[in-house]
Structure 1
């Protein structure tokens, strides 16, 4: 009796340890992505994380090969691996800042020595995930009879780990968070230390905690890439970081320098001073400049930019500004007589800075009674508001000198055809949409913007779109003004006068001549005008088809406005521009493709390698591969799509992502726990996988319409609907994995770790593949592939050899 109670007590401790370890792994994954985004860029962070997460697949490989040896030593190995995972979490990030590992992603394709450093970085970040996954895998194998309970514990912990990461982002710096997270695996290991190995592991625990304390007391330098925007800014004379705030929105830093000035596309006729201004950087990337309203030069300078064009036509009463940053667009609107301004900014940290620390610099701009600040996703606001505006202005697109495609996989929900139509519907009868961008070479942003404008106006039956558009350019920027009513002769005259006064050139305007387009700012290659005109003619499809870059309009189904790479044109670009130059034109999407190839190669290695020990035949191996591969693809594909839909629905990206992931994981965990009730595994799998496939297929065609029709509900109602919509399929999606492992165990126990490893590998591959499918085919296609994956899992169950299987 006492022995049974003791055994049950240890099992409860084991369940708690799994939850704590899983929470730590997920929180560490999110923190590592955050850290790598700060010091490098999102795409390289994504690449490193993908390789690191293959530690789950590698753990299955090792367990498959050394299963018996490891199970014999499980009392020592389990706590040792958990504590080791904690030690590695606190050590590897600091080690990655050492000269031996420090690499710069910008030079990766031109400096071969960077590859060895990148491989070292892969290995470093692989280790904590591998160690933690090995511990979880060991528990799953040892306690396979209670797999539903332990998988529930794993998923519950993972869901809570995402919430924990957000809390830590608000309270601590990026240098402190890894060491704080590292305490959790150490605690998990300590609570399951067996008495007979205590003398070995207690000193190891003390050492691990000592390392945590040391790293917390001596924070390391972030050392961002020398090519990050903030690195350039800090190279200016007397540059310094005035403010630094860490939050889920990123690491926000304010840099000041007497030599730092901001005047986008400023007219060459401007004779005043360009006053120094502080700049805000988010994760090391340029975010916005802080307007100094105490200096009249700062405020008047805005009227010498192309963005002032709409205010030269008439004085607006109501203005909607989307993604305002530090409020330069607000200053411009106020200076030009706006009576009411609705300003949308999704980054709460930036808004807080402007309302508090920098309120005196901006002359309390965000407290002006004419200004209403909303911290919200701008697209969600458009979906919800029913008010009309004289001007709706989008943020300045692109960057000075062009970009290298680092935003290729960033969803730009304001730059889709559907978003444009929503803005059009929010205009007063005489209202205007204002869209500006930096001029890039070769032209991509301006032409893609024109294509979006043209197709959107066509979709709402505007017969003569060019009569509604005035577009002008300076030496560095281009601005489109799209008016709801056709431009009058007086308005056309005002545009021409504005251009003549500021040395700007009209690009699109009824009645202009070819010479007027290059009067002040000449162009070496004037085919740009041919392509731009073509966007509003019957030649549009031909130009888009023949163009070297992807300039087809973004849609809500494919909202990747900055994705310009076309694979079939890539060889031609390499021949024309050279391999290295082409790489730097579209780096972001290329990195995703490279990541996918790397992950597939390594995953196949981890999946095939155990077969040399287990044998290539017998034990339902064909079913194991088919079934667990399908589960990995189906689950991750649906998660990616849910995140996309509910970020727009809930309106706060950081919290929306956390909500989606946590609800999915916790609901799946509950489903896993409930699956323990089933005894006839094969019949149950047929029912569950079939039901999941049908649910996903149904969601594919109704979820968009349902969310659109309920987007105006109060937030509490939307959260409840979100939990219900995500929770229903997720509950059932938590069942197939533990039931599948029970089938594998009943058939051939040695195949259990192999199945665990397959699922781990495919989960990483599916994340990369889902992004590629979304970019090339759209989110609906990703959802259909998710339904197909679960359909394959369903069909595979007919081919299980049933001897010895319930």
Structure 2
């Protein structure tokens, strides 16, 4: 039986996929990593269709063809390091694609190379399901559990080893397993030698991950006097600390401050400079900290307890120490950043500094005392936005509401971000804050809300119980002395220091005018409020305004990729590729004659529906479990492992249910999915939300083997690979489609769509079983 082979082939394939995402994120960027992997997955369909044609040939594989499957598995394992090594020597430079046509050739070559392992994997799984279709539930379970195990091992090892070493370990583990299964001694010797050489090449510097020369870290280390300090590896990111004379950071520093700003250690995440960490031993001498916009909350209060949301810049922590805060809590999603701060933790003694891995909302519930100030800074070292499809649960309406409610009486929420024309980040932030205050029943926004700007930052201050006359006087003096402009509310006699775009008018359209909804709907970017159900703060695309946005961006398509706005085009491209590959196959069969193949529409629709539904459910939980699990990486890993493991268990139980005539239980799936839709907002920040994945996962695991049993005829040549190809086609399109639906309508709609898809699949299954029941009484055949 092929269970062990299937397990380890799935193990290496999912491991390879996860590691490729990390490798491309470090070498190129997160945006290109997602794009390349999405396109590469087309190989899954091609491999399945290759198996389909083989099974329809004069020499199809059968249960006695174990050696052929063993060789295919060995080829799959060997292809992963070969592709990895080859990619490391291709001189792809994504920036130069703007003017060098040869870079487009390299980009296409990247995609084609990445396709090879997925192609071999698709063929192997399709062959295995076809050859051992009577045990398809166990084969499918081995596939799911193997993928979950690979993901789990990679996630653990990435916290301990370099990415290249993690890859070598996965190859070694899988290679040993393949060697144990191979029956031919000569094949074992040859395969073992190849695996050993490939692992050695992966570990050596020959195939080390080389960052793009345009990455911030690479550029920073070219400066005279720059030195690399250390590298920290976790499953979240690769963090590099380095010294550079230019690593001086004071966002919004007043132009009236003429003294030098001290330098610190540069922080680079996956090669991009994210911030600066300054030592804490000399914070008393850092007088520039009173000349930055974020000093105002500390001048209005004398805080003892401060919460800092996001720790990529040490300036926020230093400022709290500078102004005398004694209890400081810092939240951060990225484990690499927390490790970096832990290495210099002694510099902040004797003050109490607590680093928390997770969201600020979870932290606030566990704090013994309410904070005086909650500071949320979105000012990285460079004024660049996050990837458009990246969730930001720290800035949703629900998050801001919880911050304000969690403050001590007269406490202050302070939010800072860079001004980035064209205006969109700051407008959406103000929309969220207005919605949060309205949700709390605040009548006069001007009594609690203050917005002011420096030459490069916008700063928003919310005081829980409103500003007093003393507060207003201090604010006026601070803004005048530091040469900052007030944007909201208007203050009589306040001098203007900064010219340029009229941000005051834009904010007034949101906060003062009754037509704020009209302004939001007519604005070129999507600046609607973001919620926990639609937490994509940095996604601003309006499809109706795509031409205008392209014009505003200077007619540069990399801008669209960075902002996540390329998603609709990626989806269209994937649909064209998937339909082109699958449709051309069906057209070819129609012209040549399908023989005894029963190309019924029901079979293809069924497996496509469960492919879409499975991915939609999976993506919903990946997004929504970030809050209870504390980070996107942890949510991704735990969700995927849990769903794959529980679905594997469900697949194993398929025969048990059928033998006891309990297959009706599959009909509970849409109801349980809808139940999660109804109750998830209640349990989304508790441990119950994680456990809710298990029963759904078990039910999802039933659909594929049940479909093979009742929809694919035993007399049909190639029916199983075709079903797997249909399922794979949906799985390629579904992630991009789900992301587009989520950013537009919210994540919860994914569960509604998944329930509808599963209900339609059950209807198809119901008609099939009834027909089988009728035909079995008359002809004892199982055709559909």
Instruction: Confirm or deny a common fold (TM above 0.5).
Output: yes
Is 1:81 equivalent to 2:45 in the alignment? no
* C-alpha distance in structure 1 between counterparts of 2:123 and 2:553, whole Å: 47
Is 1:58 equivalent to 2:46 in the alignment? yes
Aligned to 2:736: 768
Residues 755, 585 of structure 1: alpha-carbon distance in 2 compared, 3 angstrom cutoff: closer
* C-alpha distance in structure 1 between counterparts of 2:208 and 2:611, whole Å: 38
CA drift at 1:660: 1.6
* C-alpha distance in structure 2 between counterparts of 1:90 and 1:70, whole Å: 29
Aligned to 1:544: 520
Q: Are the aligned partners of 2:312 and 2:380 in contact in 1 as well (CA < 8 Å)? A: no
Residues 505, 55 of structure 1: alpha-carbon distance in 2 compared, 3 angstrom cutoff: same
* C-alpha distance in structure 1 between counterparts of 2:127 and 2:412, whole Å: 62
1:692 paired residue among 669, 674, 686:
669
CA drift at 1:798: 4.1
CA drift at 1:441: 0.9
Aligned to 1:27: 15
Is 1:37 equivalent to 2:25 in the alignment? yes
Q: Give the SS at the match of 1:535.
A: helix
Aligned to 2:778: none
Aligned to 2:645: 666
* C-alpha distance in structure 2 between counterparts of 1:375 and 1:381, whole Å: 9
* C-alpha distance in structure 1 between counterparts of 2:689 and 2:400, whole Å: 26
CA drift at 1:386: 7.3
CA drift at 1:354: 2.5
* C-alpha distance in structure 1 between counterparts of 2:247 and 2:565, whole Å: 33
Is 1:588 equivalent to 2:563 in the alignment? yes
Aligned to 1:135: 124
Is 1:239 equivalent to 2:210 in the alignment? no
Provide, for residues 394-443 of structure 1, a one-character-per-residue CA deviation record: whole Å limited to 9, x for no partner: 1224664444xx52111000111111111111012201110000111111
Is 1:677 equivalent to 2:668 in the alignment? no
Residues 413, 298 of structure 1: alpha-carbon distance in 2 compared, 3 angstrom cutoff: farther
Q: Give the SS at the match of 1:478.
A: strand
CA drift at 1:135: 1.9
CA drift at 1:128: 1.6
CA drift at 1:326: 5.1
Gaps of 5+ in 1: 1-10, 712-717
Alignment of 1:117-516 (within 5 A): 117-195=106-184, 198-200=185-187, 202-295=189-282, 299-325=286-312, 327-356=314-343, 358-359=344-345, 364-365=347-348, 367-382=349-364, 387-397=369-379, 400-403=382-385, 406-512=386-492, 516=495
Is 1:573 equivalent to 2:549 in the alignment? yes
Residues 790, 342 of structure 1: alpha-carbon distance in 2 compared, 3 angstrom cutoff: same
Residues 553, 695 of structure 1: alpha-carbon distance in 2 compared, 3 angstrom cutoff: same
CA drift at 1:219: 4.7
CA drift at 1:111: 4.5
* C-alpha distance in structure 1 between counterparts of 2:318 and 2:720, whole Å: 63
* C-alpha distance in structure 2 between counterparts of 1:296 and 1:394, whole Å: 20
* C-alpha distance in structure 2 between counterparts of 1:723 and 1:452, whole Å: 28
CA drift at 1:597: 2.1
Is 1:795 equivalent to 2:774 in the alignment? no
Q: Give the SS at the match of 1:139.
A: helix
Aligned to 1:704: 681
Is 1:564 equivalent to 2:540 in the alignment? yes
Aligned to 2:753: 785
2:694 paired residue among 718, 727, 730:
727
Provide, for residues 66-112 of structure 1, a one-character-per-residue CA deviation record: whole Å limited to 9, x for no partner: 224451693443222222222221122222132xx333334545554
Q: Are the aligned partners of 2:676 and 2:692 in contact in 1 as well (CA < 8 Å)? A: no
Consecutive aligned runs of 4 or more in structure 1 exceeding 6 Å deviation:
none
Q: Would you say how many aligned residue pairs link Structure 1 and Structure 2?
A: 765
Q: Give the SS at the match of 2:537.
A: coil
CA drift at 1:228: 2.5
RMSD: 2.4
* C-alpha distance in structure 1 between counterparts of 2:284 and 2:68, whole Å: 68
* C-alpha distance in structure 1 between counterparts of 2:489 and 2:516, whole Å: 18
Provide, for residues 497-542 of structure 1, a one-character-per-residue CA deviation record: whole Å limited to 9, x for no partner: 11122121122235346x73xx22211x32x221111111212112
Aligned to 1:599: 574
Q: Are the aligned partners of 1:255 and 1:279 in contact in 2 as well (CA < 8 Å)? A: yes
* C-alpha distance in structure 1 between counterparts of 2:672 and 2:285, whole Å: 56
* C-alpha distance in structure 2 between counterparts of 1:112 and 1:465, whole Å: 54
* C-alpha distance in structure 1 between counterparts of 2:65 and 2:150, whole Å: 26
Aligned to 1:6: none
Q: Give the SS at the match of 2:565.
A: helix
Aligned to 1:522: 499
TM-score normalized by the length of structure 1: 0.90
CA drift at 1:731: 0.7
Residues 566, 349 of structure 1: alpha-carbon distance in 2 compared, 3 angstrom cutoff: same
